[in-house]
Amino acid sequence: MKFRKNVKSMVCAAVLVAVGFLTTTAPVLAQSALIDIEKRGVLRVGMSTFVPWAMRSKEGDLIGFEIDVATKLAQDMGVEVEFVPTAWSGIIPALIAKKFDVIVGGMSITPQRNLTVNFTRPYAHSGQQMAANTKLSGSFTSMDDYNDSSVTIACRRGATPCNFAQERFPKASLRQFDDDAQAFQEVVNGNAHAMISSAPKPRFWSEAYPDKVFVANDGKNLSQGDEAFALRKGDIDTLNFFSNWILVNESNGWLAKTHAYWFEDQSGWKDMVAE
């Protein structure tokens, strides 16, 4: 009896191991996402809420620079667009797990990210901007004053500003938050000296608290970023198509015009998001 039980458990274990092997060694068929998109008739775009790249209007609809870009891209391809709002920290794994075809999410090109995903040519150039607490850091004369162990800098977890802050201000202590709004709130509350985020959010927010927060570095960007679409590795056809779509829309001025509408000032779209 005991022997039979042992045999049973061994067979069971063997089956489990065999199933594991079968599922992990299944061949990966490399197919262009372009073909999938056309067959489906829908372009799936991964994005994350990030003012003014992508945000919610009063009606709860998605609006923003990226939304315009992806909508025009789908129009030019002759397919429908479908947005997949995704938590930023998991957006690259979600792309690799094929939850959508492309990330149009204001993602800056970095060598580290480029090791896991492919980037098109940049479709926007943003930069890092710093909002600082007037009481805590109003007396700072140069940007190097922020590089001090007594300084606290807030940023969004997993986003480029955190890496930037670490490199530019290695001595400062870093506090990471799940979204920018929380990071900014820390500055307003005086718990952090400054927060770093992609322009123009720090400027827009600072306008709401003129006597408590100011934009450091005389309002200029701290760095320049290159934002591009991110795609899965090994799909050269789609990469070529998207890159050239960006090139064409750069040349005809559509990208610059749309970028100016969303980034230069809020007057054009402020009514859409607030009363």
Partner 1 sequence: MCLLTPKSMDAMNRNAPPPEPRKKRLSPLDFIIYGVVIGFIYYAGYRVNDVLVYNWNWSRVFNFLVRYDADANNYVANLLLFGLATTLRLAVWATILAAIIGVVMGYWRTCDNLTLRIISRSYVELIRNLPPLVFIFIFYFFISSQLFPVLGIEDINRENQFVDSVMFQVMFGDPRLLSNFLAGALCLAMFEGAYITEIVRAGIQSVGKGQWEASRAIGLSPFNVLRDIIMPQAFRKILPPLAGQFITLIKDSAIVSLISIQELTFMATEVAATTTRVFETWILVGAMYFILCYIFALTFGWLERRATKNHR
- Residue 13 CA to residue 19 CA, distance in Å, equals 10
Window of 49-57, 225-233, 244-252, 260-268 that interacts with partner 1 by CB under 8 A:
49-57
Window of 81-89, 113-121, 227-235, 242-250 that interacts with partner 1 by CB under 8 A:
81-89
Q: What is the CA radius of gyration of the chain?
A: 23
Window of 167-175, 203-211, 225-233, 261-269 that interacts with partner 1 by CB under 8 A:
203-211
272 binds partner 1 (CB under 8 A): no
- Residue 261 CA to residue 181 CA, distance in Å, equals 22
CA distances to 60, 64, 193 from 10, in Å? 56, 58, 61
Shortest separation between residue 93's beta carbon and partner 1, angstroms? 5
Residue type, 202: P
205 binds partner 1 (CB under 8 A): yes
Of the candidates 33, 86, 104, 175, which one interacts with partner 1 according to CB under 8 A?
Answer: 86
Q: Closest CB to partner 1 among 74 and 255?
A: 74
3-class DSSP string for 123-188: CECCEEEEEEEHHHHCCCCCHHHHCCCCCEEEEECCCHHHHHHHHHCCCCEEEEECCHHHHHHHHH
178 binds partner 1 (CB under 8 A): yes
Q: Closest CB to partner 1 among 3 and 149?
A: 3
Q: Closest CB to partner 1 among 207 and 265?
A: 207
Q: Closest CB to partner 1 among 58 and 171?
A: 58
99 binds partner 1 (CB under 8 A): yes
What the block records as the tokens of 232 is 């899965």
Which residues between 239 and 258 bind partner 1 (CB under 8 A)? none
Residue 234, C-beta contacts closer than 8 angstroms, at least 6 positions apart: 30
Which residues between 52 and 71 bind partner 1 (CB under 8 A)? 55-56, 58-60
What the block records as the tokens of 190 is 């005086």
- Residue 145 CA to residue 169 CA, distance in Å, equals 9
Q: Nearest-5° angle of CA 179, CA 224, CA 162?
A: 35
Interface residues with partner 1 (CB under 8 A)?
5, 8-9, 12, 23, 40, 49-51, 55-56, 58-60, 82, 84-87, 89-90, 93-94, 96-99, 178-182, 184-185, 188-190, 205, 208-209, 212, 273-275
